[in-house]
Amino acid sequence: MVLEFRDEGIYCPAGGFHIDPWKPVDRALVTHGHADHSYPGHRRYLTTHAAAPVIRHRLGDITLDGIAFGERRDINGVTVSFHPAGHVPGSAQIRVEHKGEVWVVSGDYKTTADGLSEPFEPVKCHAFITECTFGLPVFDWRPEAELAAQINDWWRTNAEQGRVSAIGAYSLGKAQRVMTMLDPDIGPILTHGAVENTNEVLRAQGLHLPDTVRVTPDLDPKASPGAMLIAPPSALDSTWSRRFGPVATAFASGWMALRGVRRRRATERGFVVSDHADWKGLNAAIAETGATRIFATHGYTSTFRDWLEHQGYDAQIVQTEFGDELLDAEDIA
């Protein structure tokens, strides 16, 4: 096998490197900057030039090398390359080739373009290691313009009533995507420090984001009636948001497609905005790889594996420590 599944993560024995390992290793190839894929403690890191600044911001002083999308690099006789995953800015699938056999590790991916992340590119391979966070037919994403209209209509209604709106969105990727959907004519966009720190990193890379105002202790909460707050989900029900009075709250996540999850989040609205592929996207991506062997890493793995077997694939489940969109760490999913 080109890749093996070990306790510390996905491993290439011929190349002597790991992909998105969750325990400290010598050499880690990293698909993107979310905390469940880029762990601290590795001796050396390799990731895309676009993902490198966020990973450095999160992990601090690390030995990290960058690589361009599509660039091929030889590691101990194994050829590796990184290809756009469409998940968040800089995210990649990793192609691994050894002795004519090609495996691809998807990391997290989204097949619909969001105008912010590098669009997903299918990569031909023999074996595909895929996420399946939303691997059920009920998950069927709406067009970006439709989502933007829903969010802005809700914000506008709240602003007309003098209420501040707040959307819980993870600090890397989701928050910036929501911000690009917003109509700045409705009101100012205020951001939690965790979100604004990531904004600064991405703006420095040339990503265009709308104007935002960082919420600081000396900011007057009454000075921005009808504003929009963008914060990690854990900040919505905290003293941070309560200082703005009776805030209208919402959560942006693919999980909002499930009524039970919407109720448990205890927010007024749920917007179905996901940075992962939906059911159709997962199936289309797998078909485009041409792979016959599929490994499902995280999500609805059992159901999705059974479905793939019915479609004629050699499908297996792989246990990993990759997370999902319900994790409330501020920079996951």
User: Mean pLDDT throughout 253-277?
Assistant: 87
Last residue of a domain, one of 271, 300, 327: 271
In this structure, the answer to whether residues 162 and 228 fall within a common structural domain is: yes
Q: What is the residue whose two structure tokens read 């993870």? A: 170
- CATH number of the domain that residue 242 is part of: 3.40.50.10890
Residue 303 · residue 311 · CB < 8 Å: no
Residue 202 domain-assigned (yes or no): yes
Residue 4 is predicted with a pLDDT of 98
- CATH number of the domain that residue 73 is part of: 3.60.15.10
pLDDT at 330 over 70: no
In this structure, the answer to whether residues 13 and 110 fall within a common structural domain is: yes
User: pLDDT category, 325, cuts 50, 70, 90?
Assistant: very low
pTM above threshold 0.75: yes
Residue 132 domain-assigned (yes or no): yes
Domain count for the chain, please give it: 2
Residue 242 is predicted with a pLDDT of 87
Q: Is 100 left (phi over 0), alpha (psi -120 to 50) or beta?
A: left
Residue 325 domain-assigned (yes or no): no
In this structure, the answer to whether residues 156 and 31 fall within a common structural domain is: no
In this structure, the answer to whether residues 289 and 232 fall within a common structural domain is: no
Residue 281 domain-assigned (yes or no): yes
- Residue (of 167, 164, 330, 153) closest to 250 by Cα position: 167
Residue 114 domain-assigned (yes or no): yes
122 Cβ contact partners less than 8 Å away, ≥ 6 residues apart: 285, 288, 289
Residue 130 · residue 282 · CB < 8 Å: yes
In this structure, the answer to whether residues 154 and 166 fall within a common structural domain is: yes
What's the pLDDT tens digit per position in 83-131?
A: 999 999 999 999 999 999 999 999 999 999 999 999 999 999 999 999 9
What's the pLDDT tens digit per position in 215-244?
A: 999 999 888 889 999 999 989 888 888 889
Q: What is the residue whose two structure tokens read 């024995």? A: 13
Residue 282 · residue 135 · CB < 8 Å: yes
In this structure, the answer to whether residues 50 and 109 fall within a common structural domain is: yes
Residue 324 is predicted with a pLDDT of 54
Residue 62 domain-assigned (yes or no): yes
Q: Which residue range forms the structural domain that includes residue 236?
A: 144-271
In this structure, the answer to whether residues 21 and 92 fall within a common structural domain is: yes
Structure token pair of residue 282: 């997962």
In this structure, the answer to whether residues 95 and 182 fall within a common structural domain is: no
Residue 329 is predicted with a pLDDT of 42
Residue 228 domain-assigned (yes or no): yes
Residue 328 domain-assigned (yes or no): no
